[in-house]
Amino acid sequence: MSEEEHPDVIVCPGGPLLLRGDHVVEDADGKRHRTSRSVSAVCRCGATGAPPWCDGTHQQFPRDRRP
């Protein structure tokens, strides 16, 4: 399967950024986090209680206020 058919990074409308595979994510404080799952969700709304990861909090906002 090609990279175009199986992308490494997926933007979820109104939700997180999905990373497939191994990555190092630097948070807003400069702390680095290595992904440990086959797919990791990075928060794009800024409301997560577990930064930099999405914890589903974005679902509490109306769709037109989501990233």
- Interacting residues toward ligand FES by CB under 6 A: 15-16, 43-45, 47-48, 54-58
On whether the CB atoms of residues 41 and 16 are closer than 8 A, the answer is yes
Residue 1 vs 63, nearer CB to ligand FES:
63
> Shortest gap between Cβ of 5 and ligand FES (angstroms)?
25
DSSP 8-state symbol, 60: G
Residue 21 vs 59, nearer CB to ligand FES:
59
In angstroms, the first-to-last Cα distance of the chain is 29
Residue 19 vs 54, nearer CB to ligand FES:
54
Any idea which residue has 């206020």 for tokens?
A: 65
On whether the CB atoms of residues 21 and 8 are closer than 8 A, the answer is yes
> Shortest gap between Cβ of 3 and ligand FES (angstroms)?
24
